[in-house]
Amino acid sequence: MGTPQGQQEPATRATTAAGYVLLFVLGAVQGLLGSFLYSSGPGVLVAIVFDVVIFATCVLAGWGTRTFGGGLLPAVGWIIVSFVLSMPRPNGSVIIANTAQGQWYLYGGSLAAAAGAAVAFTFRTRRQPRVRR
C-alpha cells in the first residue's frame, strides 16, 4: 500500500532528515576550523578564503537539495559555532581576535553565509518544468 500523493515514505524522510543534519554539521565544522585557522596566512587572505568556502557550501547545498533549507543549514551551523567561539572566555582569552583578520572572517563570513542562503533560495523559487499529461 502506497503513501498518499505528496507524502514521502518513512525511510525517505529519515534519509532526508539525516542529510539536513549533515549539512548543519558541515557548516559547524567549517566554523570550528575557520575560527582557529583564520589568521594562519598572510594578511586577510585565509580569512577571505574561509568566507568564500562557506558561501560555496551554502550555494552548492541549496543547489543539490533544491531547497532553501539545504542552503540555510550550513549557514546556521557556521554562524552558531563562529559566534559562540568569538565570545570572550571568563579567563579573558578570545579565539577570534578583534583584528583585521578576525573581522574579515567573522563579518565577511556572516555576509557570505547569508548571501549563500539567499542564492539557495533562488534555486528553490525557480519555476519547475510543467509535466504534460
pLDDT of amino acid 43: 86
pLDDT of amino acid 18: 92
> Sorting pLDDT into bands at 50, 70 and 90, what band is 121?
confident
Q: List CB contacts of 16: < 8 A, sequence separation 6 or more.
A: 8
pLDDT of amino acid 130: 59
Measured in whole angstroms, the distance separating CA 127 from the mean position of its chain's CA atoms is 24
Element spanning 54, H or E: helix 45-65
Average pLDDT, the chain: 87
Higher pLDDT, 133 or 65: 65
pLDDT of amino acid 88: 86
Take residue 122 and report the three cell numbers written for it. Answer: 533562488
CA distance 105 to 46: 8
| Model pLDDT for residues 51-93, shown as the tens digit of each residue | 999 999 999 999 888 888 899 999 999 999 999 999 988 888 8
Residue 129, pLDDT > 80, answer no
Instruction: Decide if 40 contacts 64 (C-beta within 8 A).
Output: no
Numbers of helices and strands, H then E, in the chain:
4, 0
pLDDT of amino acid 8: 65
User: Which of these, 32, 57, 65, lies nearest to 116 by C-alpha position?
Assistant: 57
pLDDT of amino acid 5: 61
